[in-house]
Homo-oligomer: A and B are copies of this chain.
């Protein structure tokens, strides 16, 4: 059975970079199943990458290896990492890209990659995806144990992600827009469980627009109408039925959202 390697990068699809990563891995292990989570993370956007990876990884089979290459610090002292959780292995730079999944997974074994034996040489100054991360993922997929690549470490960089807050009296929630998708949905950081805590109500306010309630499906909304709905990530989303909420309301990342 081929091992699955799933990729999240900001390399884009116009250049040969992603193809090269896969070539490097196949040279080490010819029996692989690649899944592209996305290569269109905006250049060097670690927050978006962390969010994308966190919202996807648990849908993959056990023993999947995730290769994350969003690496603005390439060539600096930032550490290359292997993170081993109960079911999965993650490979990428220590820049916060793994913050959200480490929070979710709890107990992890973390290794700093230092053993140059597994690198592609000469190691370039600008593309450790090719020279460090891809070969390490390749050897991991062949069963080389993570401790072979370097010492176990305790601390990694954790980014601060904005959290939605439920008011003490549970009368309102204040959150913000943290992502958007291909359909123009504005994805907030307000979790379904937080909505459950709220006493009564359920009206949503964004950019001075009031949405009277949280819908249970797109079903009853007229085409083009604005609605709030718990999306597939378990987060509150602002949508326009068969249209783009991001465009219609000119929503920006970080836009304030209130539920009351």
A31 within 8 A of B: yes
- A179 CB to nearest chain B CB (Å): 9
A219-B23 in contact given A13-B40, A40-B13, A124-B231 (Cβ < 8 Å): no
Structural contact, A218 and B76, CB atoms closer than 8 A: yes
Cα A11 to Cα B13 in complex, Å, equals 13
Minimal Cβ-Cβ distance residue in B for A19: B37
Is there a chain B Cβ closer than 8 Å to A16's Cβ? yes
Q: Does A44 contact B (CB under 8 A)?
A: yes
16 contacts between A and B (CB under 8 A): A1-B31, A4-B23, A11-B182, A13-B40, A16-B38, A18-B38, A19-B38, A19-B56, A23-B61, A26-B60, A26-B64, A27-B60, A59-B130, A75-B218, A76-B218, A125-B229
| Candidate in A20, A27, A64 with the most chain B CB atoms within 10 angstroms | A20
- Hey, which chain B residues are within 8 Å of A182, CB to CB? 10-12, 14-15, 17, 43
Cβ < 8 Å to B, chain A residues 85-125: 124-125
List of B residues within 8 angstroms of A251 by Cβ? none
Chain A to chain B: the 3 pairs with minimum beta-carbon distance, closest first: A75-B217, A12-B182, A19-B37
Determine if A136 is an interface residue (Cβ-Cβ < 8 Å). Answer: no
A217 with B76: CB separation less than 8 A:
yes
A37 CB to nearest chain B CB (Å): 3
Asked if residues A60 and B183 are in contact (CB atoms below 8 Å), the reply is no
Task: Name the interface residues of A159-181: CB closer than 8 Å to any CB of B.
Answer: 181
A36 contacts the other chain (Cβ, under 8 Å)? yes
Chain B neighbourhood of A198, CB < 8 A:
none
Nearest B residue to A55 via CB reads B16
